[in-house]
Amino acid sequence: MADKKNILVTGAAGFIGRHLVKALKSRRFSVYTFDKIKGYDVCRKNSLAQFLNKRIEIVFHLAGQTYVPDSWNRAGNFYKTNTLGTQNVLEFCRQAEAKLIYLSAYVYGPPKYLPIDEKHPLKPNNPYAHSKLLAEEICRLYADVMGVKAVILRPFNIYGPAQRECFLIPMLLKQIKQQGRIIVKDDTPKRDYLYIDDLIRACILAMNYQERFEVFNVGYGSSFSVKEIVEIICQCNGRDVPWESLKQPRKNEISETVADCRLIKERLGWRPKVGFKEGILKTMGFV
């Protein structure tokens, strides 16, 4: 890892990007950031050209549209940003001879079996996941045909401090703080939740992976329902909070996801360290 000094992070001002940039700088890498807050647009051709003279060796590509419900109403924006934007980043990597580490998403659709490994059929059931899968295919083409080394990480559900309040866990915490009660649309879906620090460790370990192309799941390996999450948050909060479910399932809802992470454990030596209750306490600022 010591020889990888110059790193570019797209989407650096986002939830994952902020944590990643902080971790990279703490390890004394030279980090360049690319984000729309600075006026950068990953969809604009040659938008990364200004970094060609920076001797970038690794690109973490995080920039993109991320909130699944929005993808139904703004599918075009998701495909443009997540798919064509990724091709622009790959073209920069080809020119700069840089390695790409791409943060994809859950792209498996309704599970045919649990836990879900990387060989599971890919059948995205929303425009967001489909746009990420198409981006993965572009990564594969650039690796196979153009010699760009690429590692794809498929995070399941990530949570932690400073996550946007449209996501489940920060939304629940906001409701407790502002209203003293919780209302959820559906308390039955179960998801595999991974604390942000564990994802960041996976990102950093991926820097050393030497194969031309690989895809890794990144998850905890167990699942929690919305109901269980509410109960754990109440435990961490030290008091019961009144709550109710409206029994309104989300469009194309998936009942449960669990990540099989044996491949990343075998190839990168990664494994999660932060249990779910500990992660909630950290997110709430109690640890």
Q: How far apart are CA 89 and CA 63, in angstroms?
A: 10
Domains within the chain, CATH numbers bracketed = 6-159+195-220 (3.40.50.720)
Q: How far apart are CA 266 and CA 113, in angstroms?
A: 21
The DSSP call for residue 249 is P
For the segment 225-264, what is each residue's pLDDT rounded down to a tens digit? 999 999 999 999 988 899 999 999 988 899 999 999 999 9
Give the contacts of 82 (CB within 8 A, at least 6 positions apart).
64, 65, 128, 131, 132, 134, 135
Segment 209-217 mean pLDDT:
98
Q: How far apart are CA 58 and CA 100, in angstroms?
A: 6
What kind and span of H or E run contains 15? helix 15-26
Query: Is the Cα dihedral 39, 42, 48, 54 positive or negative?
Result: positive
Structure tokens belonging to residue 267: 């190839």
**Banded model confidence at residue 2, pLDDT cuts 50, 70, 90:** very low
Say if CB 124 and CB 68 are below 8 A apart.
Answer: no
Neighbouring C-beta atoms of residue 231, cutoff 10 Å = 16
For the segment 133-158, what is each residue's pLDDT rounded down to a tens digit? 999 999 999 999 999 999 999 999 99
For the segment 172-195, what is each residue's pLDDT rounded down to a tens digit? 999 999 999 999 999 999 999 999
What is the length of the chain? 287
Say if CB 101 and CB 207 are below 8 A apart.
Answer: yes
Confidence (pLDDT) at 4: 57
Confidence (pLDDT) at 5: 82
